Amino acid sequence: MTTGEIAALVKGELVGDADLELESGHTLEKARETHLAFWKRRPGQKELPPTRAGCVIVDPRTSADGRTLIRSLHPRRAFAQALRSLMAQPAPDAGTDPSAQVDASATIGSRVSIGPHVVIEAGALVGADSVLGSHAFVGGGAVLGRGCRLHPGARVYGNARLGDRVTLHAGAVVGSEGFGLVFETDHYERFPQVGGVEIGSDVEIGANSCVDRGALDDTRIGAGTKLDNLVHIGHNCQIGRHVVMAAQVGLSGGVVVEDHAVLGGQAGIGDRARIGARVQLGGQGGLLPDKTIGPGGAYWGTPARPLREQLARQALVNRLPGVFDEVKRLRAKVEKLEES
């Protein structure tokens, strides 16, 4: 792509050479002549740092000084958009690897690519333009929409229905049995897990993450939601749209997370708790069973409290040594007063 084409794509203002051919993108520090880069001005920074990048996406205040720049209100966002186009990879060749095992009763859409040792069971449905990496598994009756991507070793049980453009990274598991137990005198029996999983379009599920099927009803993940690696979603969770969960977040059973909530890494949510829309829960935060936070607001700690309150509590503890000294001094004074 040329610098002119990129400027048009990101709706930025091009300054300098519109015909420079760019091949890829990199950081300001490592970019070369054929690279696009972007500059996110840090507080106090006045000048674009030296760079060998062929073209840099910058904020509107940046002066060109003879360089080729694209001015944009959101340089990082524009760079991401440009890079998605620059690095767009050709879809892998459609077709089914001979070592894959696709049941004759499965329905496979057009232009689907099925890699080595993939297994697709009876009655499954794989939408057009989907790509299934090596060792992927699609259970009997599962439904994958158009343009889905299963990375190597991703597994979708037969109870799951995925929308369009859903991505499962390597080793991710969707539709495993939930952790439902019934205590019988001296041992546990299973509470049967017969619900399914319903995943909206444009959802991503990170490497080795696990999404359990519902017990009776379905586990649901709304469109556009993004889960990082090693996340656990328990049975019957109801997750809204455009929710973000960082790595190693864990949701127990029946948790509700509303639209646009953001959960920091390693956060843990108890059974049936509810996280309101747009809540931001800090890393390692913990919400107790049946509790609700939000909608809106930043929360942190275990048990999760409003961030401001949590920080205030920590500050209170900081003040303790001084207060202990004060009490000691007061006691001495009071004793002196009592004697006098």
What residues are annotated to the active site? 235
CA pair distance 77, 187, nearest whole angstrom: 54
Among 52-60, 105-113, 291-299, 319-327, the segment contacting its own copies (CB under 8 A): 319-327
Q: What string marks each residue from 279 to 308 as x (binds its own copies by CB under 8 A) or -? A: ----xx-x-x-------------x------
CB of 266 to its own copies, least distance (A): 4
Decide if 263 contacts 240 (C-beta within 8 A). no
Q: What are the DSSP E strand ranges found in 92-146?
A: 95-96, 101-102, 107-108, 113-114, 119-120, 125-126, 131-132, 137-138, 143-144
**198 forms part of the interface with its own copies (CB under 8 A):** no
Q: What string marks each residue from 22 to 51 as x (binds its own copies by CB under 8 A) or -? A: --xxxx--x---------------------
168: Cβ contacts below 8 Å, ≥ 6 apart: 148, 149, 150, 151, 154, 156, 174, 204, 205
Find the binding residues for its own copies in span 75-134 (CB under 8 A): 76-77, 80-81, 83-84, 87, 97, 99, 101, 115-117, 119, 133-134
Decide if 198 contacts 161 (C-beta within 8 A). yes
- The structure tokens listed for 106 are 């499965």
- Dump the DSSP string for 19-74: T-B--EE--TTT--TTEEEE--PPTT--SPPP---SEEEE-TT---TT--EEE-S-
**184 forms part of the interface with its own copies (CB under 8 A):** yes
**73 forms part of the interface with its own copies (CB under 8 A):** no
- Exactly one of 72, 113, 159, 248 binds its own copies (CB under 8 A); that residue is 248
Find the binding residues for its own copies in span 140-169 (CB under 8 A): 151-153, 155, 157, 169
**277 forms part of the interface with its own copies (CB under 8 A):** no
**252 forms part of the interface with its own copies (CB under 8 A):** yes
Q: Which residue's CB is nearer to its own copies, number 63 or number 314?
A: 314
**229 forms part of the interface with its own copies (CB under 8 A):** yes
Cβ atoms within 10 A of the Cβ of 170, count? 17
Decide if 159 contacts 142 (C-beta within 8 A). yes
CB of 276 to its own copies, least distance (A): 18
Q: Which residue's CB is nearer to its own copies, number 64 or number 73?
A: 73
CB of 63 to its own copies, least distance (A): 25
Q: Which residue's CB is nearer to its own copies, number 60 or number 289?
A: 289
- Report the Cα 106 to chain-centroid distance in Å: 30
The residue count for binding its own copies (CB under 8 A) is: 96
The greatest distance separating any two alpha carbons of the chain, rounded to the nearest whole angstrom, comes to 101
CA pair distance 127, 115, nearest whole angstrom: 15
Measuring CA to CA, which residue among 55, 50, 20 is closest to residue 35?
Answer: 55
Q: Which residue's CB is nearer to its own copies, number 105 or number 110?
A: 105
**170 forms part of the interface with its own copies (CB under 8 A):** yes
Decide if 52 contacts 29 (C-beta within 8 A). no
DSSP 148: -
Q: Which residue's CB is nearer to its own copies, number 58 or number 210?
A: 210
Decide if 39 contacts 75 (C-beta within 8 A). yes
- Exactly one of 4, 59, 179, 295 binds its own copies (CB under 8 A); that residue is 179
Q: Which residue's CB is nearer to its own copies, number 64 or number 194?
A: 194
Find the binding residues for its own copies in span 199-228 (CB under 8 A): 202, 206-208, 210, 212, 216-217, 224, 226, 228
Q: Which residue's CB is nearer to its own copies, number 12 or number 206?
A: 206
